[in-house]
Amino acid sequence: MAIFSSNSISIGLALNSKSVLAVRLDQERGILLNKKEIPAEALVLGNIINVNSVAETMATAILETKGDASKDSKESKLLSKKKGIFRFRKKSKGDKDTIGAAICIPSEAVFTSLLSVPLVVGKDLGVEVEERIEKIIPVKPEDIVYLWKQLGKTDEEIHVAIAAMDRRVLNQYRILCEKQHLRVASMSIPSSIIWLSAAPKQKETALLFVRFKDDYSISSLMYHSWPIDELVLPSEIDMKDQIERTKQMLQEQRDVNGIVPKRIVFVGSDEEMKQLQDSGEFSIPIEKSAFAVPERIVGYELGLFSILGSRKDKLLNMLSAERLEQ
């Protein structure tokens, strides 16, 4: 069932510190992408510093996904300009058209981890998870919002994945979308979306995603579709440094939680793929994603999700995050 009605314009949006990517799936023209640069220092480490600049960049990116910024286009009719800033106008009573969106926010905005919680008879697991989150997240408890999911257990402990963020940062993205009058169905992070494109094999519980360069470099360990450990680095970081840090991350997860990925899914160019293989640092198979450009993965999955809604239950959706009990 579609998330948005047939009268909606359904858009996928991926944001990072350097750009906004807008995508839609067009029946005639396939995947339509448009990437617009964000003004310097408008979005830093997942925090929106200048909401007006980012909002206008979003509007322009959406407007130009079809390469048509004419006054007669469907998108243009939903635009308004106030004080020199383009925004999508609020839907009035007689309007049939709306802008529906699935949003991908920067990985730096969300803290992810895997907790090993001892089995304690008579103690509520949810209470234990909240107590753990309060201790490990460097944010005041009243400002934490979080999601958690039980992924497995042994005779002695339970594995719980968590995703948490500062509610003030989450509200920044809510305000950003409200300024553009977008109907937002989901707010996720790149690794959660990329997992869907990797077509995890049956009974495959752990995967490692690696991408180099572009706007940033990332190594993300996924466990039962949840990101449990992520390494996000500036694109200027040397590839050898990222490989070494990724090895350390995997070693820690193996020693602490016994989690070992069976393969690496690499996102990037053929040349970068060869460099990773030639490093000889990984003993597991390395496969290249079917999408050569990272944005096309995020774009395709966001566009598909925003239109079909078929993958709603698979995404880590921070819009569903709850506050800690006080």
More confident residue, 163 or 182: 163
Q: Is the pLDDT of residue 16 over 50?
A: yes
State yes or no: pLDDT of 244 exceeds 80: yes
For residue 38, pLDDT over 90 is answered with yes
- When mean pLDDT is compared across 79-93, 190-204, 245-259, the lowest value belongs to 79-93
At a CB cut-off of 8 Å and minimum separation 6, what does 29 contact? 66
- Among 291, 288, 247, smallest CA distance to 264 is for 288
| 120-129, 148-157, 305-314, range with the lowest pLDDT | 305-314
| Residue range 131-155: mean pLDDT, rounded | 88
Confidence of residue 99 (pLDDT cuts 50, 70, 90): confident
Asked whether residue 9 carries a pLDDT value surpassing 70, the answer given is no
C-alpha angle 271-275-278 in degrees, rounded to nearest 5: 130
Candidate from 8-22, 95-109, 154-168, 282-296 with smallest mean pLDDT? 282-296
Query: Mean pLDDT in the chain?
Result: 78
pLDDT for position 303? 55
Confidence band, pLDDT 50/70/90 cuts, at residue 235 = confident
Least confident window among 209-218, 280-289, 302-311? 302-311
pLDDT at 246: 92
Please give the pLDDT value at position 4.
37
Give the pLDDT confidence score for residue 59 in this predicted structure.
Answer: 86
CB 24 within 8 A of CB 101: no
More confident residue, 142 or 201: 142
**What are residue 90's phi and psi, to 5 degrees?**
-70, 140
Kindly give the pairing relationship between strand 79-82 and strand 85-88.
antiparallel
How would residue 144 be classed by pLDDT, with cut points 50, 70 and 90?
A: very high
**Residue 114 corresponds to which tokens in the numbers above?**
């895997």
Q: Evaluate if residue 25 carries a pLDDT over 80.
A: no
Contact 53, 42 (CB under 8 A): yes
pLDDT at 110 over 90: yes
Tokens read off for 145: 């919002």
Q: By mean pLDDT, which of 141-145, 165-169, 226-230, 264-268 is the weakest?
A: 264-268
| Greater model confidence, 67 or 114 | 114
Domains of the chain, first to last? 8-106+170-189 (3.30.420.40), 108-166+316-323 (3.30.1490.300), 190-297 (3.30.420.40)
Percentage of the chain lying above the pLDDT 70 cut: 73
Which pLDDT value is given to residue 69? 43
